[in-house]
Structures are given as structure tokens and as C-alpha cells.
Amino acid sequence: MIKKYNIHEAAGILNVNPQTLRRWDDDKIFSARRDGERGHRYYYEDDLADFLSKNYKYLQALAVRWSFAREASFVPSRFYCRDAYVFKSRLYKLEVILRNDHALAENFSLVTSSVGEIGNNSFDHNIGGWPDIPGIFFGYNLAKRKIIISDRGQGVLTTLRRARPELANDAEALRAAFTEIISGRAPENRGNGLKYVKKIVQKIGLKLEFYSGKSEVEINSSKEINIKNSEKEMRGCFAILSY
């Protein structure tokens, strides 16, 4: 049976006031379904996911709440990949969409492979070691041309210290992950995926905002990468790729 969400539950998921949902329904901005004789408003999970897919502001806010909060908020299953197999199938779906994006042309494969590296990094480095919720948040908005990938994993500093114990803080870890070639990283066969992502972002003029721990980095077509302390602290990784 498909779960129904009443207006209070739906408002909680979207982080809006129930009154806002009533107004959106009346104004046909986001229509509710009606139940029973009294006509109580309700929503299916797919209704909420459709709304989030079309309204980037709310999708990003949900991703931030899921990723940064002490306890993860509910996320519609459309945006949650519990394991790498789910992510793989959804990455393929994104590839098909991007392949038909005329503005990207042949660069579709570079965007897809960059998203694949970020998402698969989460699974590769946290398997068996997720602090609470396994898996990743993966959502995108085609109109805004933004892709969000995040996890509640151990973060770059913790996982990179297995290969580079001397790393002192999150900012150093981000710099190493994005700029330094790291080889012979036993016991973990860790790749250089984030360096690839940086190279692609700089080469074809994308923008990447990447958060981990207490640090954040922004990468664009400029040669310099800007690493700074983040206003928000998180344990895992949070990335927005704009294409």
C-alpha cells in the first residue's frame, strides 16, 4: 500500500508551514490530493518527490538537512541511494538525460563521470563504516543545471588519514584530495577521483561546491581553488555540481 502523508507530515518533509501547503494547493502551485468526506489534504511520496525535483530551493534545503543535521531527516526514496547498485542505475539514468542536453554536447560524459566519481567515493570509503545512515543523497534539477551528491559518512579527513596520517585538519585533507597525487595508499586502494573531478570542472567551466568536516572548497574554471572554513560543520561530504 502506498503511504500517504497528511499535510503536517508533508510540511515537515518540505520544511514549510502547513498553511503554506494549503495556500499552494488553493493557488494550484502544488496541488494536494483529497481524502474522505471531509476532504483532508494528503500527498503521496511521489507527489513530494515531483515537487522537490522541480523546485531546486527545496531540494537543496532537504539535502542540507539530511546531510548536516545530527539526525538525518526523511528523504523520499527517489533521492536516496542506499547502496552503490541503486546509485549505478540512477547515474545511468542521469547519463541518458545529459546525453540529450545540447548545451553539453560531448561533455555529457565528463559531467556523468564526475558525478560517478563523487558518488562512488562515498561508497568506496565508507563501506562497513557508515556512522549512522548508509548511502547517499542524489538529486538534481535540470532547469537550474545543478546536481547534489552527499553522504553521512566519515568525511575526507578521516578516510584520507588512512593513507596520509599527517593531515592535520579538514582544509588540509580537502587540498590533498583535490590536488595531490596519492599513490600506494594501502590498506585502502583509494583512487584519485576528486583530482579528476577538479580537472574536469576547470576544463569545461563547471562549478563544484564541496563541503566536508569544517571546511569547504569551491572550484570553477579558475586555476586557483578556494578552501575556507565552513559556516556549517558536517561529518560526511556534501557536493553541488553546477553544469
Closer Cβ to another protein, 113 or 242, answer by number: 113
Distance from the Cα of residue 152 to its chain's centroid:
10
200 scored as a contact of another protein (CB under 8 A): yes
* Sequence-separated (6 or more) residues with CB below 8 Å from residue 174: 156, 210, 212, 215, 216, 217, 227
Instruction: Look at strands 33-35 and 40-44 and give their pairing.
Output: antiparallel
How far is residue 204's CA from residue 224's CA, in Å, rounded to a whole number? 15
- Exactly one of 33, 199, 207, 214 binds another protein (CB under 8 A); that residue is 199
d(CA 110, CA 104): 9
Assess contact for 178 and 198: CB atoms under 8 A: yes
Does residue 4 belong to the site contacting another protein (CB under 8 A)? no
Site membership for another protein, residue 124 (CB under 8 A): yes
- Complex with another protein: residue 118 or 157, whichever CB lies closer: 118
User: Given the complex with another protein, which of 30 and 80 has the nearer CB atom?
Assistant: 80
Is the Cβ of residue 143 or residue 181 nearer to another protein in the bound state? 181
Q: Which of 62, 61, 183, 194 is nearest to 124 (CA)?
A: 194
Report which secondary-structure segment, H or E, holds 201. Answer: helix 193-204
The cell numbers describing 47, all together, are: 507527489
Q: Which of residues 161-190 bind another protein (CB under 8 A)?
A: 181, 183, 189
Contact 160, 167 (CB under 8 A): yes
| Residue 17: CB minimum distance to another protein, A | 41
How far apart are CB 88 and another protein at their closest, in Å?
A: 7
Which residue, 60 or 192, is less far from another protein as judged by CB? 192
Give yes or no for residue 120 binding another protein (CB under 8 A): yes
Per-residue contact string for residues 37-56; x = within reach of another protein by CB under 8 A: --------------------
Write out the binding residues for another protein, residues 79-98 only, by CB under 8 A: 84, 88, 91-92, 95
Cα separation, 58 vs 12, in Å, equals 12
Specify the residue, 91 or 177, whose C-beta has the smaller distance to another protein: 91
The CA distance from 243 to 240, in Å, is 10
Q: Does 109 bind another protein (CB under 8 A)?
A: yes
Instruction: Tell me phi and psi for residue 5, to 5 degrees.
Output: -115, 125
* Residue from the set 32, 48, 75, 112 that interacts with another protein by CB under 8 A: 112
Tell me the three state secondary structure of residue 219: strand
Give the interface with another protein as residue ranges (CB under 8 A).
84, 88, 91-92, 95, 99, 106-107, 109-110, 112-113, 116-117, 120-121, 123-124, 181, 183, 189, 191-193, 195-196, 199-200, 203
